[in-house]
Every structure is written in structure tokens, then in C-alpha cells.
Amino acid sequence: MKITQISVFLENRKGRLYEVCSMLGAAGINIRALTIAETETFGVLRIIVDKPDKALELFHKNNVTANRTEVVAVEVEDRPGGLANILKSLSEQDVNVEYMYGFIEKFTEKALLVFRFDDPEKAGKVLASCGINVVTSKDIQAL
């Protein structure tokens, strides 16, 4: 149920995000979802890619500071209230979301949401019990 997110520690400097993304592009690795948390001097880029192991290897070879984080991705209907419904169930079951981000799939009516939970096991169960479609690594590759 859990999928791999890659977190990249990036210098907050012009062109650095481009450099890292072009590394992935040149290696044929596709970014499925992305978010950036930024501070004054650095940012943390969080990405879901189709080939996470290959991406990590690439980063380490190129001296890019990166590590893997386990996250949960779910599919929700791309309509008003879609996210709120999920958050309601999680909140009722006392599951805490550390951070989350989302994006819209191209060819379906669904949105993909990526969650980092403090307790991913419990979160998975809550989501499953609500009949929410939890995305697997295979799904990510196929997107």
C-alpha cells in the first residue's frame, strides 16, 4: 500500500531545480507528482516517480542529497468535496496527516493525492475501510 516518495534536499538557488529535474529527464524517469517545501536557503523537493530505485541511484551518483520516504497515495473523484471526505474519515479515526499534496491525472476523472501520515499502517486501514482506492507502486508505473 505504501509507495516510495523521493525527498531531495535542494539549495535555494536559481537553476538548481532545473538541474535535478533534467537529470531525471535524461535518465528517462518520469515525475508523477511533485511538491516543494521551501525555506530561506534550501528547499525539499518531494517527488513520486515511476522508477524510484533508479532515481535514487542516479541522485547518489550525482551527489544530490536525497532519501526515500514512505507515503500513501490515493485516488479520489475529481469533484467538490472529494478530499474533504477522505480527511473526514482520517480525522474521525485520529490519523494525523504530516503533509500532503495532489495532482490531477490526465485521462481520468480522478485526482491523485499523496499523504505522509504519522501512522501509515493505521491510515491504510482507515482508507481501505472507507472504500478509497489506495494506489500501489505498480499503478504509479502504469500512470
Taking CB under 8 A as the criterion, the residue among 63, 80, 107, 138 binding another protein is 63
Count CB neighbours of 95 within 10 A: 21
- Closer to another protein by CB, 9 or 18: give it: 9
Query: Does residue 35 interact with another protein by CB under 8 A?
Result: no
> What is the Cα–Cα distance from 55 to 34, expressed in whole angstroms?
14
Half-sphere exposure of 39 (CA within 13 A, CB side): 6
Query: Does residue 15 interact with another protein by CB under 8 A?
Result: no
| Encoded amino acid at 32, one letter | R
Taking CA atoms, 32 is separated from 4, 13, 75, 112, 141, in Å, by 12, 24, 13, 9, 9
Query: Does residue 40 interact with another protein by CB under 8 A?
Result: yes
How far apart are CB 82 and another protein at their closest, in Å? 26
Taking CB under 8 A as the criterion, the residue among 42, 78, 93, 110 binding another protein is 42
> What is the Cα–Cα distance from 65 to 60, expressed in whole angstroms?
7
Query: Does residue 37 interact with another protein by CB under 8 A?
Result: yes
Taking CA atoms, 97 is separated from 87, 100, 124, in Å, by 9, 7, 12
Query: Does residue 84 interact with another protein by CB under 8 A?
Result: no
How far apart are CB 85 and another protein at their closest, in Å? 27
Taking CB under 8 A as the criterion, the residue among 23, 27, 44, 143 binding another protein is 44
* Residues in touch with another protein (CB under 8 A): 5-7, 9-11, 13, 16, 37, 39-42, 44, 46, 63, 65-69, 99
